[in-house]
């Protein structure tokens, strides 16, 4: 898997803070921006997240490129509907000349020699069936129906920051499938470099420093007990301050 942050809104932390301040000020935008110190930007972004006032985050956009992922992953990715996607088309890619289908191997299969051999044979059969059908006169766009979820694909996609909060909450979770979880962590690492204040508390909510919670309320999750412990400690600290 290769993940690249191709483009992003310039200075996204400042832009989101400016959009938030716009809601509460009659001053011209230029004057508002002049008054935005780094400390004020951080304070505003923290306030927005705490109060779930998330619409200002929609002004910041991030465009990614990803190669070497499976169709199984892409089917999950496009379920995040508040985003724009462009994907490699199997209709127009010629698989007749490739020696081997480009495919992703799950770790549970790669670590099992017997399973890995079965997996490779199945993919070889798939490619042979595709070739035989095309040579028999079937259109490539129809012959591709035999391809499995394992086949590699490439995408370019764009999220705004608000949509990324939701994506990271779901896909950085330990219960997310391994491949899309790896993608989510690579994406989070990329956006934190360009928008450290926006995304400083992004990720699986059970790992939040303050007010951690479980989206699924799954008591069987191995992280659930540690999350409850941190929640209790935070409550005790807050109670002591009051």
Please give the positions annotated as active site. 171
Inter-residue contact 136 to 96 (CB < 8 Å): no
How many angstroms separate the CA atoms of 126 and 148, rounded? 8
Specify the 3-state DSSP secondary structure of 61: strand
How many angstroms separate the CA atoms of 176 and 182, rounded? 9
Inter-residue contact 206 to 227 (CB < 8 Å): yes
* Helix residue ranges per DSSP H, the chain: 12-22, 29-34, 38-50, 71-77, 107-110, 113-135, 140-143, 161-171, 178-194, 224-241
Strand order in the sheet with 152-160: 2-8, 61-70, 152-160, 83-87
Inter-residue contact 227 to 214 (CB < 8 Å): yes
Inter-residue contact 25 to 32 (CB < 8 Å): yes
């Amino acid at each position: 898997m290769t993940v690249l942050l191709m483009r992003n809104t310039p200075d996204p932390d400042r832009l989101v803070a400016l959009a938030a301040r716009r809601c509460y000020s009659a001053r011209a935008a230029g004057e508002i921006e002049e008054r935005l110190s780094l400390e004020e930007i951080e304070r505003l972004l923290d306030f927005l997240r705490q109060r779930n006032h998330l619409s200002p985050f929609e002004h910041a956009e991030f465009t990614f490129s990803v190669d070497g992922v499976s169709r199984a992953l892409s089917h999950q990715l496009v379920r995040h509907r508040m985003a724009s996607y462009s994907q490699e088309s199997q209709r127009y890619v010629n698989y007749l000349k490739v020696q081997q289908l480009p495919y992703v191997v799950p770790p549970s299969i790669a670590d099992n020699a017997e399973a890995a051999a079965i997996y490779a044979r199945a993919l070889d059969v798939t490619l042979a069936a595709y070739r035989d059908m095309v040579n028999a006169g079937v259109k490539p766009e129809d012959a591709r129906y035999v391809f499995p979820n394992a086949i590699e694909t490439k995408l370019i996609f764009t999220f705004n920051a608000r949509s990324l909060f939701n994506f990271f909450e779901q896909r950085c979770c330990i219960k997310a499938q391994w491949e899309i979880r790896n993608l989510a962590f690579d994406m989070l690492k990329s956006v934190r470099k360009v928008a450290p204040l926006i995304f400083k508390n992004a990720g699986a909510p059970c790992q939040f420093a303050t007010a951690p919670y479980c989206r699924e309320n799954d008591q069987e999750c191995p992280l659930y007990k540690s999350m409850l412990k941190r929640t209790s400690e935070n409550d005790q600290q807050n109670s002591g301050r009051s």
